Amino acid sequence: MTKTQATLAALGALLTFSAPAFAQDTPTPLTQTDQQFLTQAAQGSVSDYANGAAAVNRAQSPAVRQLGIWIMEDHDRLNIQLYALAGVHNVNLPLMATSKDQSDLMSLTAKQGAEFDRAWLQQAIQTNKQDVKDAQKEENAMTDPELKPLVKAYEATETSHLIAAQSIMGMMK
């Protein structure tokens, strides 16, 4: 288990056991759609953090490395919000990326130099486009008002990462 996974596990456990003590009212149960969004967002956020770390460690371009740092910092903040809200609603979120995301990361890290940078940016663009779409879909479907600020923050974060990745990719061509 990585340091990030251990931190998320500890945070999840703390929030799961302490959230009821802090809640004044019983939270509205989340719909299946809202729970699925939280799960997807958590898996994506964990994956994005790992991909950001790969960029920090492997990128040739300083701009790609800097974007990796930015992504890691943003997903640290998002994870705190995701896991806190999930804890209040007694939703268990995954602590690891999907096996597909892990496999994609392994394929990425097999590349070096400019080839890694281009492949990493392409993947970042693709995943951030999907994350923005997912957030917009959730925003239209959500029923719990507590979820709205988190979805907005998630969408804004993924949009800013998408714009930055597209900009860097444009400069590399």
- Closest among 3, 7, 89, 92 to 43, alpha carbons compared: 92
Length of the chain: 173
pLDDT tens, residue by residue, 38-95: 999 999 999 999 999 999 999 999 999 999 999 999 999 999 999 999 999 999 999 9
Query: For the segment 18-33, what is each residue's pLDDT rounded down to a tens digit?
Result: 444 444 566 778 889 8
Angle between helices 62-88 and 3-22 (to 10 degrees): 30
Radius of gyration of the chain (CA): 17
Confidence (pLDDT) at 145? 85
Distance CA 2, CA 70 (A): 19
Q: Does domain 3-15+32-172 have CATH number 1.10.3720.10?
A: no
Average of pLDDT values for 5-27? Answer: 52
**List of residues 6+ apart from 16 with CB closer than 8 A:** 87, 90, 92
Regarding pTM above 0.85, the answer is no
- Mean pLDDT of the residues in the chain: 88
Residue extents of the structural domains in the chain: 3-15+32-172
